[in-house]
């Protein structure tokens, strides 16, 4: 399948989250891109009305690409718990409420799981590169694991303290951040995007 390539020049990171923008800038450092964020340009943040990670990544990337008339990259991510039919999924940020209380969100997952035997879960990341003419290149990455309670570790963010990736016995929040970044859902999605659109 042929993909449209990024031909250099300005690239908008369609996010107002400085942590996410920093991580994406690092990942794109080897390529000829003049990276600026939607936050730096004061671009409006669209409402995430999609029903899938991919729909939300495309909606965010397209909004920035059209507003700035430049190529834009967006991601949408979250935690999908098997026994909860994929919840919190695209609502992962919303489960933490306006105060971003992930302690509460993780306790909610624990209580909704009850005594369910299946503790499997995965982090999912959809990445979209969008052009002002409406063209989108979209890739999805995942990392699978099991949930553990109570929370362990203080290195990560969000749901990291309850997620033990397959093949490990420590949570993402106990893991060295570089190691997590190498194996994360975002790294998996980037490993598909880069050869298709940047290499």
Interface positions with ligand IMP (CB under 6 A):
76-79, 92-93, 123, 156-160, 172, 184
59 or 79: whose CB is closer to ligand IMP? 79
Q: Are 160 and 148 in contact (CB under 8 A)?
A: no
Q: How far is the CB of 199 from ligand IMP (least distance, A)?
A: 25
34 or 101: whose CB is closer to ligand IMP? 101
Q: How far is the CB of 170 from ligand IMP (least distance, A)?
A: 14
| 73, containing H or E segment | strand 71-81
Question: Which residue has the CB atom at the shortest distance from ligand IMP?
Answer: 158
Three-state secondary structure string covering 95-148: HHCCCCCHHHHHHHHHHHHCCCCCCEEEEEEEEEEECCCCCEEEEEEEEEEEEC
**CA gap 168, 174 in Å, rounded:** 11
4 or 148: whose CB is closer to ligand IMP? 148
The closest of 102, 36, 132 to 110, measured between CA atoms, is: 102
46 or 78: whose CB is closer to ligand IMP? 78
Residue 83 phi/psi, 5-degree rounding, is: -70, -10
9 or 44: whose CB is closer to ligand IMP? 44
| 10, containing H or E segment | strand 9-13
How far are the Cα atoms of 9, 60, 64 from residue 185, in angstroms, in the given order? 27, 19, 23
Q: How far is the CB of 9 from ligand IMP (least distance, A)?
A: 26
Q: Are 133 and 152 in contact (CB under 8 A)?
A: no
Give the active site residue among 34, 40, 76, 160: 76
Q: How far is the CB of 133 from ligand IMP (least distance, A)?
A: 25
The answer to whether residue 176 is catalytic is no
Q: How far is the CB of 90 from ligand IMP (least distance, A)?
A: 8
Q: Which residues are catalytic?
A: 76
């Amino acid at each position: 399948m042929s993909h449209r390539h990024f031909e250099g020049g300005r690239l908008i990171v369609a996010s107002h989250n400085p942590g996410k923008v920093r991580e994406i800038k690092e990942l794109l450092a080897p390529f000829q891109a003049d990276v600026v964020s939607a936050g730096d340009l004061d671009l409006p943040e669209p409402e995430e009305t999609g029903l899938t990670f991919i729909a939300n990544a495309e909606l965010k990337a397209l909004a920035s690409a059209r507003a700035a008339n430049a190529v834009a990259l967006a991601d949408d991510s979250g935690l999908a718990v098997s026994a909860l039919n994929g919840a919190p999924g695209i609502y992962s940020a919303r489960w933490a409420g306006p105060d971003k209380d992930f302690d509460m969100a993780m306790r909610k997952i624990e209580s909704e799981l009850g005594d369910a035997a299946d503790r499997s879960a995965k982090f999912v990341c959809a990445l979209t590169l969008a052009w002002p003419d409406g063209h989108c290149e979209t890739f999805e990455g995942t990392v699978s694991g099991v949930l553990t309670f109570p929370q362990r570790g203080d290195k990560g963010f969000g749901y990291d303290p309850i997620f033990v990736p397959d093949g490990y016995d420590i949570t993402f929040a106990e893991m060295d951040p570089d190691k997590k970044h190498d194996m994360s859902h975002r790294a998996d999605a980037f490993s598909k995007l880069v050869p298709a659109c940047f290499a």
